Amino acid sequence: KAGVTQTPRYLIKTRGQQVTLSCSPISGHRSVSWYQQTPGQGLQFLFEYFSETQRNKGNFPGRFSGRQFSNSRSEMNVSTLELGDSALYLCASSSLGFGYEQYFGPGTRLTVT
Amino acid sequence: KNEVEQSPQNLTAQEGEFITINCSYSVGISALHWLQQHPGGGIVSLFMLSSGKKKHGRLIATINIQEKHSSLHITASHPRDSAVYICAVEYFGNEKLTFGTGTRLTIIP
Going from the first residue of chain A to its last (113 residues), give the mean pLDDT of each consecutive group of 10, the final group possibly shorter: 92 98 96 95 95 94 97 97 97 89 95 98
Q: What is the pLDDT of residue B92?
A: 85
Three state DSSP letters for chain A? CCCCEEECCEEEECCCCCEEEEEECCCCCCEEEEEEEECCCEEEEEEEEECCEEEEECCCCCCEEEEECCCCCEEEEECCCCHHHCEEEEEEEECCCCCCCCEECCCEEEEEC
Sign of CA dihedral A80, A82, A84, A85: positive
For testing the chain B interface, which of A55, A98, A111 should be mutated: the one with the most B CBs within 10 Å?
A98
DSSP B79: G
Q: What is the mean pLDDT of residues B1-8?
A: 85
Shortest CA distance from B94: residue in chain A: A56
In tens, the pLDDT along B11-54 reads: 999 999 999 999 999 888 999 999 999 987 789 999 999 999 99
For testing the chain A interface, which of B34, B43, B48 should be mutated: the one with the most A CBs within 10 Å?
B43
Q: Does the beta carbon of B97 lie under 8 angstroms from any beta carbon of chain A?
A: yes
Are A45 and B41 in contact (CB < 8 Å)?
no
Q: Which tops the pLDDT comparison, B4 or B27?
A: B4
Partner-chain residue, chosen from B31, B43, B100, that has the shortest CB–CB distance to A90: B43
**For chain A, first and last CA: distance in Å?**
37
Q: Does the beta carbon of B90 lie under 8 angstroms from any beta carbon of chain A?
A: yes
Q: Using the predicted structure, report yes or no on whether residue B1 has a pLDDT greater than 60.
A: no
Shortest CA distance from A6: residue in chain B: B42
In tens, the pLDDT along B53-104 reads: 999 999 999 999 999 999 999 999 999 999 999 999 998 887 889 999 999 9
Tell me if residue B47 falls in helix, strand or coil. strand
Q: What is the pLDDT of residue A13?
A: 98
- Chain B residues lying within 8 Å of A34, measured CB to CB: none
Are B99 and A101 in contact (CB < 8 Å)?
no
Q: What is the pLDDT of residue B93?
A: 80
Q: What is the pLDDT of residue A54?
A: 94
Q: What is the pLDDT of residue B2?
A: 59
Tell me if residue B75 falls in helix, strand or coil. coil
